[in-house]
Amino acid sequence: MTRLATLSAVLIVSSATLSLARTSEPTAPAGTTQSAANAPLQSGAPSTHYCNLGFFTPAGLTRHKALVEKLAAAVTQSDELEDGYLFKFSGQFREAGEWLDGVRGCCPTIEYTVTFAPQSGPVTLRISGGAGAKEFIREEFSKIIH
């Protein structure tokens, strides 16, 4: 299956989020050390929402920020949902897979559902989660909420 065909499929990427608004140090739940914040989420780990920008190398963070700007420019619509937000953007955002890889490593507490329409049609991105997710998403995704 080609990469384009793979991106045309429906992807569900669970347990991830993105820090779009933050440019400072990674944040973690109070009392969490940086090394603990960088560790993979374990069973029984805190379920509060946090960002782990320590996932990125300096060059990776620079690239991720550039991809965020591309995504923000591509978003054509954003809608508030009961448990998060729904975004629509052009099917021409070719780096979506790369952006999603960064999102998954950055913050492990939000669920993403991404639908890529056939033939480079529009993309729908639903970002949602449990308690506190909507507020967290509103803060972290402020660059793409219209």
Which band of pLDDT confidence, cut at 50, 70 and 90, is reported for residue 42? very low
Tokens of 83: 């448990």
- Domains of the chain by residue range: 3-33+48-140
pLDDT attached to residue 47: 56
HSE-CB of 102 using CA atoms within 13 angstroms: 23
What is the C-alpha to C-alpha distance for residues 128 and 62, in angstroms, rounded to an integer? 26
| CA-based nearest residue to 133, from 108, 116, 106, 96 | 108
Tokens of 106: 């950055």
pLDDT, mean of residues 127-140: 91
How far CA 125 is from CA of 10, 27, 34, 59, 119, in Å, comes to 10, 24, 30, 26, 17
pLDDT attached to residue 53: 85
What is the C-alpha to C-alpha distance for residues 101 and 108, in angstroms, rounded to an integer? 12
Q: Point out the least confidently predicted range of 8-17, 25-34, 120-129.
A: 8-17
What is the C-alpha to C-alpha distance for residues 9 and 118, in angstroms, rounded to an integer? 8
pLDDT attached to residue 117: 87
pLDDT, mean of residues 5-21: 32
Which band of pLDDT confidence, cut at 50, 70 and 90, is reported for residue 135? very high
What is the C-alpha to C-alpha distance for residues 60 and 52, in angstroms, rounded to an integer? 13
What is the C-alpha to C-alpha distance for residues 85 and 119, in angstroms, rounded to an integer? 25
